[in-house]
Amino acid sequence: MSTNTGAGLEDVVATNSNICDLDGKLGKLTYFGVDIHDLAQHSSFEETTYLLWHGTLPTQAQLEEARKQFIVQRTLPDRIIDIMRLLPSTTSPMDVLRTSVSALSAFDPHTSDKSAAANYQRAIRLTAGLPTIVASWENMRNGKDPVAPLQAHNHATNFLYMLTGNMPDDYAAHVLEVALILHADHELNASTFAARVSAGTKADVYASVTAAIGALSGPLHGGANEQVIRMLLRIGEPERAESYIHDALERKERIMGFGHRVYRTDDPRATHLRAMSEELGKRNNDTRWYEISRIIEKSVMEHKGLYANVDFYSASVYYSLGIPIDLDTPIFACSRIAGWTAHILEQYANNRLIRPRAEYSGPKVTKYTPLSERER
Ligand code: COA
């Protein structure tokens, strides 16, 4: 048996995939060969999702059809809203998302149909429905009724509309759209791996996405963006940023939003988020969060040689859009659902149970002593 003692499986190739190519040395990221910079500049979330699911960019007619299917699937079954109403209003939005996705399986119109076509419909249903869950919860926990999804407009515009009940301005919708594209897939990150392990047992799409949401919620993965904005708020003023980082590193703390298991250079996704953070600051006449972020970025590079990752600038971007802090990670999920489902469909199409081994490091032989003879 070949062994790998690295507890985090770093650099272990665990599967073959056609979906996402990630070059950590060059800082290059592609979805089916299409550069993330091109997608960020020219694509839409719906088109990028189509690419992840089908492996090719859609024609105009295919894109229109996909948009229509998304719009239909934005509306949740009433009983999912009823289930959400049973949860305490203090429940974290990630927990609500995980619970609701799990519950959605009970309302699948064709539960026993495990065909590729039925699973594709589930991918659409979940990708279209996640923003409705997040936005509905935001309204419900504030004592309001959920806002019904728009029956037109793109995914990002509808999401921002459902959060507040007001139509967002074009730039805000553009920013969210680009953020959704940038987070849509990232090879075998922890949550996608969790999704594939689950799908590899032939568990259904809902179970696999539920596993992925659980993995995303941790602060070392998707939960990092929320921790970043909390840090920026603690720092408060650009003048305090340098000493804050210095002191935190002295205490051997991790600075959230920095470092990456694969990238050893600038994260290509951070480039776009950095620019949008600056632009949003200017438009809001409040560049504080961008300025603090820049100082932190410089300081962490000087002290630790670490680059900002995707979570660092997404934090100030979402905050500048007026999005409540604890929705940062659920929004990550609303984007990554595209990648999760693409990987789940790919896993089903060429499935083999994922079951690695552990290098046993416990005692070889331990005598069973009766309870009465054991020392306290
Ligand atoms: N802040 C401070 N130091 C960090 C760090 C951070 N964010 N990330 C890594 N390091 C340091 C480690 O302390 C370690 O230093 P040492 O060799 O002096 O002990 C070194 O960099 C290597 O770290 P390691 O934990 O082995 O890297 P990893 O590949 O396991 O970690 C992350 C990857 C993402 C988990 C890690 O960088 C991290 O915790 N980042 C913060 C959370 C975050 O932003 N997550 C989102 C990822 S997209």
- In this structure, the residue with its CA closest to atom 26 of ligand 1 is 261
Indicate if the pLDDT at residue 97 is higher than 80: yes
For the whole model, what pTM was predicted? 0.95
Q: What is the pLDDT of residue 11?
A: 86
Q: Which atom of ligand 1 is nearest to the CA of 312?
A: 44
Best probe residue, ligand 1, of 183, 258, 267 (max atoms within 8 Å of C-beta): 258
Best probe residue, ligand 1, of 254, 293, 309, 328 (max atoms within 8 Å of C-beta): 254
pLDDT more than 90, % of the chain: 95
**Pocket of ligand 1 contains residue 256 by CB under 6 Å:** yes
Indicate if the pLDDT at residue 2 is higher than 90: no
Tell me how far the alpha carbon of residue 260 lies from the centroid of ligand 1, in angstroms: 7
- In this structure, the residue with its CA closest to atom 15 of ligand 1 is 304
**Pocket of ligand 1 contains residue 257 by CB under 6 Å:** yes
Tell me how far the alpha carbon of residue 126 lies from the centroid of ligand 1, in angstroms: 32
Q: What is the pLDDT of residue 5?
A: 56
Q: What is the pLDDT of residue 251?
A: 97
Mean of pLDDT values over 274-298: 98
**Pocket of ligand 1 contains residue 260 by CB under 6 Å:** yes
Mean of pLDDT values over 293-299: 98
Q: Which residues are part of the catalytic machinery?
A: 260, 311
Each residue's pLDDT tens digit, 19-29: 999 999 999 99
Tokens (6 digits) for 252: 């051997």
Q: What is the pLDDT of residue 3?
A: 55
Indicate if the pLDDT at residue 245 is higher than 70: yes
Q: Which atom of ligand 1 is nearest to the CA of 254?
A: 1
**Pocket of ligand 1 contains residue 220 by CB under 6 Å:** yes
Indicate if the pLDDT at residue 240 is higher than 60: yes
- In this structure, the residue with its CA closest to atom 31 of ligand 1 is 261
Mean of pLDDT values over 336-364: 96
Indicate if the pLDDT at residue 100 is higher than 80: yes
- In this structure, the residue with its CA closest to atom 35 of ligand 1 is 220
Q: What is the pLDDT of residue 1?
A: 52
Mean of pLDDT values over 130-153: 97
Q: What is the pLDDT of residue 375?
A: 84
Indicate if the pLDDT at residue 6 is higher than 80: no
| Mean of pLDDT over the chain | 96
- Can you give the chain as a three-state secondary structure string? CCCCCCCCCCCCCCCCCCCEEEECCCCEEEECCEEHHHHHHHCCHHHHHHHHHHCCCCCHHHHHHHHHHHHHHCCCCHHHHHHHHCCCCCCCHHHHHHHHHHHHHHHCCCCCCCCHHHHHHHHHHHHHHHHHHHHHHHHHHCCCCCCCCCCCCCHHHHHHHHHHCCCCCHHHHHHHHHHHHHCCCCCCCHHHHHHHHHHHCCCCHHHHHHHHHHHHCCCCCCCHHHHHHHHHHHHCCHHHHHHHHHHHHHCCCCCCCECCCCCCCCCHHHHHHHHHHHHHHHHCCCCHHHHHHHHHHHHHHHHHCCCECHHHHHHHHHHHCCCCHHHHHHHHHHHHHHHHHHHHHHHHHCCCCCCCCCCCCCCCCCCCCCHHHCCC
Each residue's pLDDT tens digit, 192-232: 999 999 999 999 999 999 999 999 999 899 989 999 999 99
Tell me how far the alpha carbon of residue 306 lies from the centroid of ligand 1, in angstroms: 8
**Pocket of ligand 1 contains residue 310 by CB under 6 Å:** yes
Q: What is the pLDDT of residue 74?
A: 98
- In this structure, the residue with its CA closest to atom 46 of ligand 1 is 221
- In whole angstroms, give the CA distance from residue 181 to residue 335: 7
Neighbours of 252 (CB within 10 A): 6
Indicate if the pLDDT at residue 4 is higher than 90: no
Q: Which atom of ligand 1 is nearest to the CA of 259?
A: 37
**Pocket of ligand 1 contains residue 311 by CB under 6 Å:** yes
Indicate if the pLDDT at residue 7 is higher than 90: no
**Pocket of ligand 1 contains residue 255 by CB under 6 Å:** yes
Q: What is the pLDDT of residue 213?
A: 98
